[in-house]
């Protein structure tokens, strides 16, 4: 895991000293919310003495168009470094822009396996949410609006060079965002723990993340700053676990819920979680791990009760999902590369049962 991590509240002010002096032209990729709250200006101020440009037109669940337009701006600006500032969307977009800035091509072609000719520009990530862990992974997820798909991309060269994790940047998150991003941390940890690629190192970190999230997320949602700091820590270590062990069926089943119903990604994972665990209890090869997961949730009354305490319904009808949509979701899910990492045989009927409609 080659990313250097700099962690602690207030550490943003140390940004300049952490960067390679050769990085004289820096493009910051963020979104309108980050720009409007003044954080983009704070980062630019920390970069005094360097030429700084910015891209702020990044959507939640960044689209192919967002990334390709950002890459055009990057090629015009000719930066030495791309900085992803914000939640998972700006950080993932920064990785895509870094790749396409160095390799003028369509994002679709890159995702379809057309080889790149050059390494991407270096990336530094500064998360403002405690969720995706993108600051420490070689992954990025983009939305193909044309075909209604979320598409994952992996390349060792898009591991950020530096993750500056300043939990103070998360303190202003609204409760809904704290919960939704925190649920992404929860499912990252749980899925990487269950993955067929898991090994003792990732198991230890995944269990630590699960324990921290269950103990801290309710208080973080109430804006307890100590709990929010712990969530920033959990997000990063869960990111490290998925960088090594990946995510499994649950994550890719959630993608259609986000694409077609706008359900935030972390919440979409959580909606399916109780039924997903029920499926694994019936057919998985890791019963001991499932027992340890159940033990973590037992003090809260079980997984479903923990989610209910955070205001998360696990009934897809509450989100406007119709039963007739499920066959399409199944078809989109069964072909994803995360499915074989699941510790159980997975059929289309299994996927449909987890949707629960």
Phi then psi dihedrals of residue 192, to 5 deg:
-65, -30
- For 101-118, write each residue's pLDDT tens digit: 999 999 999 999 999 999
Nearest to 254 by CA among 238, 267, 239: 267
Pairing of strands 149-154, 139-144: antiparallel
Pairing of strands 4-7, 162-165: parallel
Alpha-carbon distance 150 to 252, whole Å? 9
Q: Look over the chain and give the mean of its residue pLDDT values, rounded to a whole number.
A: 97
Instruction: Identify whether the C-beta of residue 40 lies closer than 8 Å to the C-beta of residue 15.
Output: no
Q: Give the mean model confidence (pLDDT) for residues 35-62.
A: 95
Residue 220, pLDDT above cutoff 90 = yes
In this predicted structure, what is the pLDDT of residue 87? 97
Q: Give the mean model confidence (pLDDT) for residues 262-283.
A: 97
Phi-psi region at 159: left, alpha or beta (left = phi > 0; alpha = psi -120 to 50) = beta
Domains in the chain, start-ordered, CATH in brackets? 4-169 (3.40.50.1970), 175-355 (1.20.1090.10)
In this predicted structure, what is the pLDDT of residue 1? 84
Band of residue 50 on the pLDDT scale cut at 50, 70, 90: very high
Band of residue 291 on the pLDDT scale cut at 50, 70, 90: very high
Alpha-carbon distance 344 to 293, whole Å? 17
Nearest to 193 by CA among 136, 138, 238: 238
Identify the DSSP state of 47: T
Strands (E), the chain: 4-7, 25-29, 51-55, 81-86, 123-127, 139-144, 149-154, 162-165
The alpha carbon dihedral of 203, 204, 205, 211 has a sign of positive
Nearest to 99 by CA among 85, 86, 115, 77: 115
What percentage of residues in the chain have a pLDDT greater than 70? 100
Q: Within 10 A of 232 (CB to CB), how many other CB atoms are there?
A: 27
Instruction: Identify whether the C-beta of residue 322 lies closer than 8 Å to the C-beta of residue 300.
Output: no
Identify the DSSP state of 63: B
- For 298-323, write each residue's pLDDT tens digit: 999 999 999 999 999 999 999 999 99
Token duo for residue 316: 């897809």
Widest pairwise Cα distance in the chain: 60
Residue 23, pLDDT above cutoff 90 = yes
Q: Give pTM, 2 decimals.
A: 0.96
The residues with which 69 forms a beta bridge, in sequence order, are none
- For 183-204, write each residue's pLDDT tens digit: 999 999 999 999 999 999 999 9
Band of residue 125 on the pLDDT scale cut at 50, 70, 90: very high
Instruction: Identify whether the C-beta of residue 95 lies closer than 8 Å to the C-beta of residue 53.
Output: no
Phi then psi dihedrals of residue 301, to 5 deg:
90, 10
Instruction: Identify whether the C-beta of residue 171 lies closer than 8 Å to the C-beta of residue 222.
Output: no
Q: Give the mean model confidence (pLDDT) for residues 15-29.
A: 97
Identify the DSSP state of 298: G
Nearest to 186 by CA among 243, 238, 264: 238
Q: Give the mean model confidence (pLDDT) for residues 117-142.
A: 97
CA distances from 8 to 144, 170, 208, 289, 331 (A): 35, 12, 18, 32, 43
């Amino acid at each position: 895991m080659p990313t250097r991590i700099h962690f602690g509240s207030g550490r943003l002010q140390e940004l300049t000293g952490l960067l390679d002096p050769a990085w004289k032209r820096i493009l910051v990729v963020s979104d309108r919310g980050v720009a409007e709250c003044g954080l983009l200006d704070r980062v630019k101020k920390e970069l005094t003495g360097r030429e700084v440009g910015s891209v702020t037109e990044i959507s939640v669940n960044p689209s192919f168009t967002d990334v390709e337009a950002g890459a055009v701006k990057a090629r015009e600006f000719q930066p030495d470094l791309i900085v992803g500032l914000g939640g998972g969307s700006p950080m993932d977009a920064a990785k895509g822009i870094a790749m396409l800035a160095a390799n003028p091509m369509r994002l679709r072609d890159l995702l379809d396996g057309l080889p790149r000719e050059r390494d991407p520009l270096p990336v530094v990530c500064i998360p403002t949410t405690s969720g995706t862990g993108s600051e420490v992974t070689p992954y990025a997820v983009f939305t193909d609006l044309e075909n209604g798909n979320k598409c994952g991309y992996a390349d060792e060269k898009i591991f950020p060079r530096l993750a500056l994790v300043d939990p103070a940047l998360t303190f202003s998150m609204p409760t809904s965002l704290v919960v939704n991003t925190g649920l992404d941390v929860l499912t990252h940890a749980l899925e990487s723990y269950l993955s067929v690629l898991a090994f003792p190192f990732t198991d230890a970190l995944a269990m630590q993340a699960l324990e921290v999230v269950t103990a801290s997320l309710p208080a973080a949602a109430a804006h307890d700053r100590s709990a929010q700091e712990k969530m920033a820590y959990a997000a990063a270590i869960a990111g490290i676990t998925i960088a090594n062990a990946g995510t499994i069926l649950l994550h890719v089943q959630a993608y259609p819920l986000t694409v077609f119903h706008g359900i935030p990604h972390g919440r979409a994972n959580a909606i399916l979680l109780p039924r997903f665990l029920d499926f694994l209890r019936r057919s998985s090869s890791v019963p001991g791990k499932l027992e340890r997961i159940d033990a973590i949730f037992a003090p809260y009354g079980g997984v479903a009760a923990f989610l209910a305490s955070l205001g998360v319904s696990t009934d897809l009808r509450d989100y406007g999902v119709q039963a007739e949509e499920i066959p399409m979701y199944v078809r989109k899910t069964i072909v994803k590369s995360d499915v074989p990492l699941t510790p159980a045989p997975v059929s289309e009927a299994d996927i449909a049962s987890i949707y629960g409609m």
